[in-house]
Amino acid sequence: MVRQADLVIIGVSVGLTLGILISCLIFFGIRWYKKRAHIRRSANESSLTTLPIRTNGLGTSSDFSASLDSSIASSWSENLKRNSHFSWWNHQNKDRFASASGILKYLYKEIQKATQNFTTTLGQGSFGTVYKATMPTGEVVAVKVLAPNSKQGEKEFQTEVFLLGRLHHRNLVNLVGYCVDKGQRILVYQYMSNGSLANLLYGEEKELSWDQRLQIALDISHGIEYLHEGAVPPVIHRDLKSANILLDHSMRAKVADFGLSKEEIFDDRNSGLKGTYGYMDPAYISTSKLTTKSDIYSFGIIVFELITAIHPHQNLMEYVNLAAMDHDGVDEILDKQLVGKCNLEEVRQLAKIGHKCLHKSPRKRPSIGEVSQFISRIKQRRQRHLTEDNLSFASNNFSRAVSRLEDRQVELSRMPTINLTETV
């Protein structure tokens, strides 16, 4: 009996010991897990690492790096959605963002001095007024000032700084700096001396040749290609239009105004319809589902603006649909400035690309990479034909010159005979 009681006591003791040991392991395990989670969360909030941006498309520059990793981008994007007061614009975060992204932060008095107290106006938009400025370095820039009490403008301001701080491509307008000072919200961009594509198409100051229009279409496609296929995560511009395509001193096009842009990875909730009437994808309007193919539709509209110089608000789509009925229907709606000054087959090929971009079904629209390749082929064929024409012209000139020399030699060879006859 005594031996059996001892066994019971030993069994209970061992059981209690094991129970205490297991409880301790669970307790310390939970503490370790919580501590590690806290360290990981703190590290995500306090550190900014570089995120590689893939280069893509023809003529893109070498590798760039973005200033935010995906976890930081995700948390900031969520803050933009949830927090109506936009708490991330506190002093510490602004300084950290500026130093990490390479974007300069200016004081209001610096902007005021550079613009000569905001005297030279370049344009006016829904965001606010754009002024011309000269920085102390001598660099000429464009300064966009947020209109007072603009809640929508505040969101667009933050979106532009957040995206352009990590997006770098020669066909995107470069953000030089920003200002959040004395209640002002200001963006500083590189200056684009030839203004917007819309002003060039619909103004009376300048004419755009067919070669320039073809190059502009290619430049725009490269800019969008970087957004869709080069940026990580992909970016949907959402407000592509001729007014948001700016041209530099060499007439090279750059995509501008990213206030309504959206990273595709965050597109899991409906943020409402945004864009410009006439350029918005009908599928996006009917379903509220935003994809990169919505940008493709807008690009298709811009293609036909380049061909026709007809604004979307002037029933452009009616003309486009009528032109689609015939192979050479686009000839009838060609911009008068181009009549007799361009290759009609090239116009038809570009129009064909435009029609594909405007397909009713987003799935059947080409990717922007395919569009870039199509336009590149048109331009390459054009350059090849121009080279052949120049060679042919040079060859004809050379033949004529040789022929004249031969004729001259014949005349010279006859001259002694004539003189000899006269002497006799």
* Catalytic residue numbers, as ranges: 239
C-alpha distances (whole Å) from 384 to each of 59, 97, 207, 380, 389 are: 19, 47, 25, 6, 9
**The length of the chain, given as a count of residues:** 424
HSE-CB of 41 using CA atoms within 13 angstroms: 6
The CATH number assigned to the domain holding 215 equals 1.10.510.10
The SS3 call for residue 106 is coil
Same domain as 208, residue 347: yes
Supply the pLDDT for residue 111: 96
Location of structure tokens 């003309």: 319
pLDDT band (50, 70, 90) for residue 87 = very low
* Side chain identity at residue 53, one-letter code: I
Same domain as 348, residue 316: yes
Radius of gyration of the chain (CA): 33
CA distance 324 to 238: 26
Angle among Cα 32, 38, 39 to the nearest 5 degrees reads 90
Same domain as 268, residue 119: no
Binding site residues for ATP, as ranges? 144
Predicted confidence (pLDDT) at residue 393 exceeds the cutoff of 70: no
| Stretch among 147-156, 234-243, 334-343 having the lowest mean pLDDT | 147-156
Same domain as 222, residue 278: yes
CA distance 400 to 212: 33
Q: Which of 357, 358, 374 is nearest to 366 (CA)?
A: 357
Supply the pLDDT for residue 309: 96
Same domain as 161, residue 268: no
Inter-residue contact 342 to 316 (CB < 8 Å): no
Q: Which of 167, 169, 164 is nearest to 59 (CA)?
A: 169
Cis status, amide bond into 233, omega within 30 of 0: yes
The overall pTM is greater than 0.75: no
- Identify whether 177 is part of a domain: yes
Predicted confidence (pLDDT) at residue 208 exceeds the cutoff of 70: yes
Same domain as 231, residue 120: no
Predicted confidence (pLDDT) at residue 1 exceeds the cutoff of 60: no
Binding site residues, as ranges? 144
Same domain as 170, residue 202: no
- Identify whether 337 is part of a domain: yes
Residue 162: which domain range?
103-190
Same domain as 204, residue 151: no
Same domain as 368, residue 220: yes
Supply the pLDDT for residue 9: 78
Same domain as 213, residue 154: no
Predicted confidence (pLDDT) at residue 419 exceeds the cutoff of 70: no
Same domain as 206, residue 107: no
Supply the pLDDT for residue 386: 74
- Bigger pLDDT: 12 vs 236: 236
Query: C-alpha dihedral over 225, 229, 230, 236, to 10 degrees?
Result: 70
Give the Cβ contact number of residue 191 at 10 Å.
Answer: 19
pLDDT band (50, 70, 90) for residue 212 = very high
How do residues 179-197 score in pLDDT, each as one tens digit?
A: 999 889 999 999 999 999 9
How do residues 32-85 score in pLDDT, each as one tens digit?
A: 777 666 555 544 443 333 333 333 333 333 333 333 333 334 444 444 444 443
Supply the pLDDT for residue 79: 45
- Identify whether 30 is part of a domain: no
- Identify whether 83 is part of a domain: no
Same domain as 357, residue 251: yes
Tell me the mean pLDDT in the region 151-156: 72
How do residues 97-141 score in pLDDT, each as one tens digit?
A: 454 456 889 999 999 999 999 999 998 876 789 999 999 999 999
| Stretch among 115-124, 150-159, 298-307, 371-380 having the lowest mean pLDDT | 150-159
Mean pLDDT (the chain, rounded)? 80
| Stretch among 19-23, 61-65, 107-111, 287-291 having the lowest mean pLDDT | 61-65
Exposed (0-12), middle (13-18) or buried (19+): which is 187, by Cβ within 10 Å?
buried
